[in-house]
Amino acid sequence: DIQMTQSPSSVSASVGDRVTITCRASQGISSWLAWYQQKPGKAPKSLIYTTSSLQGGVPSRFSGSGYGTDFTLTISSLQPEDFATYYCQQTNSFPLTFGGGTKVEIK
Amino acid sequence: EVQVLESGGGLVQPGGSLRLSCAASGSTFSSFAMSWVRQAPGKGLEWVSGISGSGDSTYYADSVRGRFTISRDSSKNALYLQMNSLRADDTAVYYCAKLTAYSASAVDYWGQGTLVTVSS
């Protein structure tokens, strides 16, 4: 199975800050990586698929990059509604494993 | 607009069984793979099981293989998860998820989740 490792596990930031989250796969997955956002008590929300394609309705301040084993999610200017936990997931092959999550907290 | 709605969660004793259902609407159901994803209290997301668009291929996490069975009924636009030999560590919110393609792919739509509690 492909293992996914996210870092950091948490980050404190202020509104307007640029935030970058890293995800590493235990083996190459080409561009088959997705990102999700989850707020407390809510279902996850799909943000990005195939590394950099935004799901419908996702603001352009979210962007993704990477290839192979190393990927990043960047929020260019953090907004109040962006404080949440973010998960990466490899979509290369079953089992579709998730990273451990990164909690973005208010500084 | 695609909608995904789970049902069937509840309280069950260790060793017991439960069947989760998921109703999907708004898309050509058999064209897309589906998955179950769970989240234990205070923990991260864990992929549990997946099934191809036709239902002829099924996949499981090691933690549930041999105990859980995923299936789908395209005539009813429905997805199921039969859970047997339940353990305390199966306690979680279970999400039904529609994938973007026929096989392994990202989730584009999530259900609201159904809580399964395994306790005596």
* B109 to chain A: closest CA residue: A46
* Residue B26 confidence (pLDDT): 76
Do B106 and A92 make contact, defined as CB atoms within 8 angstroms? no
Do A46 and B104 make contact, defined as CB atoms within 8 angstroms? no
pLDDT at residue B17 above 80? yes
DSSP letters spanning A14-45? -TT--EEEEEEESS--TT-EEEEEE-TTS--E
- C-beta of residue B18 within 8 angstroms of C-beta of residue B9: yes
> In angstroms, what separates the C-alpha of B105 from chain A's closest C-alpha?
5
pLDDT at residue B29 above 90? no
Do B50 and A49 make contact, defined as CB atoms within 8 angstroms? no
pLDDT tier, B103 (very low <50, low <70, confident <90, very high otherwise): confident
B109 contacts in chain A (CB < 8 Å)? 46
pLDDT tier, A82 (very low <50, low <70, confident <90, very high otherwise): very high
pLDDT tens per residue across span B1-16: 889 999 999 999 999 9
Q: Name the one residue in this structure whose structure tokens are 């973005």.
A: A104
Do A95 and B109 make contact, defined as CB atoms within 8 angstroms? no
Give the C-alpha distances (Å, rounded to integers) separating A73 from A54, B7, B29: 11, 33, 30
In 3D space, the residue among A43, A47, A104 whose CA is nearest the CA of residue A78 turns out to be A104
pLDDT at residue A44 above 80? yes
pLDDT tens per residue across span B78-87: 999 999 999 9
